[in-house]
A and B are shown apart, each in its own frame.
Chain A
Amino acid sequence: EAQVTQNPRYLITVTGKKLTVTCSQNMNHEYMSWYRQDPGLGLRQIYYSMNVEVTDKGDVPEGYKVSRKEKRNFPLILESPSPNQTSLYFCASSLAGELREQFFGPGTRLTVL
């Protein structure tokens, strides 16, 4: 089944404790992206990747890192999480090119205390 998976689905952590949210897709998509969704602010793009070893900043990249060492995986790293990073995070993937129908993962609800 074609899908985007994220782990963990739920995470409660404390300020400053490094964490990684994994994202994997099995559709051989070149393009992958991370979003955060907050009430009243909608979906905002954090980082995206056009292909292996190619990443770029979205609208709200501060406090996040990503890497794209393999085509299928695009982990999101929070080196020193802070409470303002409490949010619902979505990973998405699509084929490259102009017509980017994105496939979204199920989401990761992160709480930073």
Chain B
Amino acid sequence: SQKIEQNSEALNIQEGKTATLTCNYTNYSPAYLQWYRQDPGRGPVFLLLIRENEKEKRKERLKVTFDTTLKQSLFHITASQPADSATYLCALEDDKIIFGKGTRLHILP
């Protein structure tokens, strides 16, 4: 069955720099991949969805890419701010919905 790996458990980035988070999957390419943000003690909040036939998707300072050859999605936050500090989860659908364990992002002022 499909597995998701988010490579970094935690990532520290200086304010103003671009944060890049990685999501790798193991088997066939899913039809789409989703990214969510989760703050401590709260439910995840949907950010972006990218389909397998889309190379890149943008929303304000967020950018997601999908590389079916590498079996990887990258999530970028440009001009990062301390308010972007949170855990970011990627998810895909493989009969059931599977979430990665998340990357805790800390933006340092």
Q: Which residues in A have some Cβ–Cβ distance to B below 8 Å? A: 4, 33, 35, 40-45, 48, 58-59, 90, 92, 98-107
Given contacts A42-B101, A43-B89, A98-B32, contact A103 B96 (CB under 8 A): no
Are A42 and B89 within 8 A (Cβ)? Answer: yes
If over half of B's interface residues share one DSSP class (helix, strand or loop), that class is named, otherwise mixed; here it is strand
Name the contact of A100 in the complex, choosing from B41, B42, B97, B98 (C-beta under 8 A).
Answer: B97
**A33: which B residues are within 8 A, CB to CB?**
97
Are A101 and B49 within 8 A (Cβ)? Answer: yes
Are A43 and B44 within 8 A (Cβ)? Answer: yes
Are A105 and B43 within 8 A (Cβ)? Answer: yes
> What is the total of A-B residue contacts with beta carbons within 8 Å?
52
Size range of the interface on B?
20 to 34
**B46: which A residues are within 8 A, CB to CB?**
101-103
Are B101 and A41 within 8 A (Cβ)? Answer: yes
| Cβ distance B87 to chain A, nearest Cβ, rounded Å | 10
